[in-house]
Structures are given as structure tokens and as C-alpha cells.
Structure 1
Amino acid sequence: MAARHGLRVDAVLVQAVIAGALSFAHLHDLAAAAGQDGWKAWAYPISVDLLLVAAWRRLRSEGPSRLAWCWFLIALVASLGANIATAGFLDLDQPPALLRLGIAGWPALAFLGGTLLAHSAEHRLSNAPESAPVPESENSDDREPASEPVPAPEPVPAPVEEPPALPPADPAPAVPAVLVDHARKVAADYRDRTGAPIDTDTLRARLGVPPHLADAIAAQLA
């Protein structure tokens, strides 16, 4: 399996070298036919291939962009156009004026494309936002576990105050039997003279006793 993989890779490299050499030769022949002799004819294919590679690397590294696609297509058209033109579609002994114009203006066009590709990539890198530093406490493995939430204490009902106990009623005073008998006589005499039962105030006045004792005597006479 390793030998097959190595053979496949070698075949791909050989195919790439052959294709690159043919394209390089076609671009050289087209530039030489347009009046660019000497080292200038060799510089044209290098310029076209470098612009094609730069645009492709920009697409691979930063994703699709209009700028990279534009210059990739321009370099690809220049390379394919040279290959097609050298296949007999044009008379290279008497090249048309439009071909001479394109070859003469290519250096400025390639310089503009390479500059835009290089500087736009640097501008993106310089404007890229820096990642916020992660606090050391978040990265440490020995950080303390988060404390569990403490439940809120349940409300304690307020103690219900009991109403104060009423003072015990004073016990009815003991009334001597002699005093009760005397009170009956006074009440009978009062009834005989007035025809009405004696009231408590009159009974108290006649007997000369305090109010609570008069009430106790009146209760026994009722």
C-alpha cells in the first residue's frame, strides 16, 4: 500500500511538472512573438504562474472572496489564452495589435493584482480582533467547586399572645345569719309602709353596711 501511494504521488508530481513546463513554454513563445525578447520573454510565464498560485493560496487559506476569484480568473485566462494561441489559431509571425497590447500591459496588471492580494491579506490580519484572555482561575484544574446554593430559611410564625387572664371575681362575702334576719325585718317594714320591695341602696342605708355586703344581703332576700 505504501509503494502504491508513493507511486501515485510521484506520477502526480511528474504530470504537474510536464503541464507546468508546457504552459511555461507557451507563455514564453507568445511573449517572444509579441516583441518581448531576451529575459523579458522568460519573465512573462513566471509572472502569470505566480499570480495564479497567489490567488489560489488566498482562496485556500481565507475562503472565497471576490478579489481572489477575480485575479485567479485573470491569470487562468492568460495562461489558457497563451496555450490556445500557440496551437495555430494565431499567426505568431505577425501577431495582432491586440495581442501586443495585452502582452505589453500585463506587467502593470500583474503587479496590481499581486499588490492587492498581499496587502488585503495583511489588512485582514491586522484588523482581526484579539481573543480575550481567559482568566487564570477558569483554566486552573484545582479551582474550588462552586458552592451549592443555600436554601432560604423558612419563615417562623410569630407566637400568638394569649389574652391576659381576668382576675378572679371576688367571692361573695359571708353574711351573718343575724344580719340577714334583721335585714328581712327591715325589708318587711319597708314593704308594709310603702307597698314596694326595698331597693339595695335603701337597704344599705338602713343597715349601715358597705355596698358589697348590701348586695350580698339583697341577693339572699330575693
Structure 2
Amino acid sequence: MDQNPLLPPDTADLDLANQVGQHLKTLQLSVDVDAALELLSGAAYNLAGARIAHGLLRWKAHDDYDTIRSSVANEQWDLFEMAAVDMCLRSLVTALDLCAAALFRLGGGHRSSGETDLRRWDDDVKRTPLSVPARQSEWADLRRSSEYKNLLDSRNDATHRRRQVTAVVGASAALSIDYGGTSRGVLQLTEEISEYGRKQFQDLCAILLTWPRE
């Protein structure tokens, strides 16, 4: 199938992860660089998932890409929105957690099972002190930021909250999500948080490209 010339594949994040990998492999580090790079690549794929979810909402709401739009046009709007929002929020939280796991690995961190994430970062670092320069370790401070807290709370709200929805045939999109105490429309919210997640990923990669310097 020919690619749509209006929608070239966005591989910038994956390309950036590969660039970080090439740099780190020249340093002959004593940690498992390959495992960390798999996590970083996983974060890039999840960022793409968040953008896809936002794109699905745009396709449903507007007259773009008729073939794709027609494939979902018969779905209930409220259910379609919730599925896309849930996908976006989950993907972004996972992407940031994978970034944290990659940083933890590169600092020599190790867990007996699974990988660390931003919510377990403090406990895991206490058990396994990291040999990470200060500037690199500061990236994980985003776990204390209001933006991350809002993202996590919204993810929990979208994923776990029981919702009562009244759907009106032919009505425009009306679903909103609580974000930082403010009710937000899903199109604007998914666009903004996707950009936020991508910026955190790019910031980490920029830091890793200076590894191991301060």
C-alpha cells in the first residue's frame, strides 16, 4: 500500500533514541546499555501511540482522511473518545516510566524483578544508589512536578473512574477530562500532553548525549 504523502512517518523520537545509543556505545560503560536503549526505544514507541490517539480524535471530529474516518464513523462517539483518551494517557505515563527505567539502568540501578518507574524511583534509588551525574539524575525530578501529577491523576481518572454518559445522536463531541482541577476538552488536552511527553523524552535524550559529563 502506498504511503499517504500528506502523512509521512514521524520517526524523530526513535531516531533520537538510536542517536543516544550510538553515543553511549562509544563510552564502553560498565552497565547494560542495550537494556537501557530498549527501554528508551519503548518510550519513543509509546509517544507515537499518544500522537496516534490524538490523531484518531481529530479524524473522528473533522473531515480528514476519509478512509480512516469511515472505519470508525459508526462507533459511539463517547466510547470512541474515551478509548482514544485512555490510549493517549496510558501511553504517555508509560513513555515517561520507560525513560526513568532507562536512566536507572544507565546509572547502574538494578531491581530483582521488572523495571523501575517514576512512582518507585525514590525507593529504588535508596536501595541501589546510582552513579549518575547530578544533571542527569535531575531529569527524574519531574516526578514531583505539577505537570506530571496532573498527567498521572488524569490517567487514573480516565482509566479507573466509573462514568455515566448520555449520548445524543448527531451531537458534537462534549467529553471532558479533569486536568489539574480544570475540565478540559479532549482534543486540546491530548495535543498538549502529547507535546509535554515528547519534550520530556527529548530533554532526557539531550542529557544522555552529554553522558557521562556533568
With the length of structure 1 as denominator, give the TM-score of the two structures. 0.32
Larger Rg: 1 or 2? Answer: 1
Q: Relative contact order (alpha carbons < 8 A, sep ≥ 6): 1 or 2 greater?
A: 2
Give the TM-score normalised by the residue count of structure 2: 0.33
**Whose helix proportion is higher, 1 or 2?**
1
